[in-house]
Chains A and B, each alone.
Chain A
């Protein structure tokens, strides 16, 4: 699974299960906003796949006119074998986080103020009993030093399984960014 399948709606999960998954995502967002980055790793499965493709302005094809194929979001995203913003596993994320924990890690010292707002959570079943497909929108407020300030928007498609230290764990996450030129100096936060 490398790309968000925006066309599929899926069968919603039972209310109780969907509620618990939603709470899990909110807990994850609060964990990140509180800068508990090491703790964030406990939300992630050991075999995690984490991707943020590049998004750009593309053109549609003549033969796709008068159909929804014309402006498929997928055509605006870098392909699986191409450069992304991020394309890695838990090992790499763990290494990134290990390096943020120093006073002389200048990209995080002093750290930015970030808060991720999660909405539009859709949790549905998959072909596997123990894996759920969870879509969510995010809005990240980012502020650093005295005046640096940006807002970033996008969508995530997660594969979430029961298990791990949090009751659930994220097995894969694909982010669809809503930006073309990234309006900040660095993607200096986790989505």
Chain B
């Protein structure tokens, strides 16, 4: 298979995507290397590890890592494998510790990953054994934006700020409304989808189309019409995208809450809270951005958020047709407890494995496997041409902007995937 084949998998205009992109085992192994070993990947939120010694487990692609808070509040990301024989040194999903001790031979590492010692270190190890050389393998680069911690294995990767690009302008609408930012409301829900990992990411990059159909028993026709009427799809940078409601000028602050009318999480207390802090939001975000009520976002390759239901999530690859979703609820750090509680409850009712809407998404994503596995239909690509040519640039805000039913964020998502794959050269036969 030549590099040429990658352009057969995703057409130059992004309107045709081969089913092999989702179902091919060889491509899956290559994308672990070409996409997940090189991209910036979401690890955790800073509020999950507030104190020195705090840690949470995470994965980057299929690679287990530990995210820790070291001395001087520095965040570290370390491969969770002993340098001696490869045994996992962190055996819990979260906690606080002074050291990670390998259960096999007790090689011991600091919270920052440095080698601290091993039994018979003096008696049995040669003179040229240097502690400095045997710390846990660090993730090459770690950086945060609005408390969102990302890491990449690629030492030559562009900075996180450059990777996010103009997506930051839109992420601020969710995470920088108030001075304290947001905090995570508890451990993540984790569950398995027998689905390709890209499907959830592609959905959240800007699929407003499905809301009125897949979720038709929850999203009323008037609500769907309203979304289609006021929402726009935005691609701030190739790979990243979002659906975005921009409320008309003069909209009452009581209608500026993140949620959706009629969905849980839009209780009077929540709405009053957002009304009360709206002046602060306007000051921080400016006139236009304070009128923005985003729907869903994806940051390439697999980090997403759902603004109306207060959740961030990662679609971890676990095989060509197996994904592990980690999903957290968040709220403004300085929101009253009652508001946090109602946001948390609204999230659980709608998204996560018990969420009424998520259950329907998961059903669609799992059922897509049927089409992906039809090798006899490999010459018949999936269609991503909805709204082609409607995307445009506007002075007022960054990115390619199109109507709610334009799939340009999806097209650019798969073109970003193709570019990442092409950087790795020819595909193996």
Contact = CB atoms under 8 A, between A and B. Distances in A.
Contacts of B401: none
A88 B192 CA distance: 24
Interface string B186-220: 11111111110000000000000000001011100
Q: Interface of chain A, helix or strand or loop or mixed? A: loop
Contacts, number: 121
B186 A185 contact: no
B360 A107 contact: yes
Interface stretch (A74-82, A119-127, A130-138): A74-82
Contact of A59 (B92, B190, B344, B360): B92
B329 interface: yes
A57 interface: yes
Interface residues of B, number: 45
Contact of B328 (A83, A84, A92): A83
B365 to A, nearest CB: 8
A170 to B, nearest CB: 18
A181 interface: yes
B358 A85 contact: no
A82 B187 contact: yes
Contact of B214 (A81, A92, A106, A187): A106
B93 to A, nearest CB: 4
Interface in A3-54: 52, 54
Contact of A106 (B91, B348, B360): B360
Contact of A188 (B190, B329, B359): B359
Interface stretch (B277-285, B349-357, B413-421): B349-357
A107 B356 contact: yes
Contacts of B254: none
Nearest to A183: B192
Interface string B384-397: 00000000000000
A79 B340 CA distance: 14
Contacts of A95: 349
Given A83-B328, A85-B348, A185-B353, A58 B94 contact: yes
A162 B150 CA distance: 53
A98 B241 CA distance: 34
Given A58-B92, A107-B363, A182 B344 contact: no
A58 B91 CA distance: 8
B99 to A, nearest CB: 12
A78 B348 CA distance: 13
B348 A105 contact: no
Contacts of A99: 217-218, 356
Interface of A: 52, 54, 56-59, 78-79, 81-88, 92, 95-96, 99, 102, 104-107, 148, 180-188
Which 4 pairs show the lowest CB-CB distances between chains A and B?
A82-B186, A107-B359, A83-B186, A185-B362
Interface of B: 91-95, 97, 185-195, 214, 216-218, 264, 324, 328-329, 337, 340-341, 344-345, 347-349, 352-354, 356, 358-360, 362-366
Given A57-B92, A83-B185, 15 more contacts: A54-B187, A58-B92, A58-B95, A81-B341, A83-B328, A83-B347, A86-B354, A87-B348, A88-B345, A92-B264, A104-B216, A107-B360, A186-B354, A186-B358, A187-B354
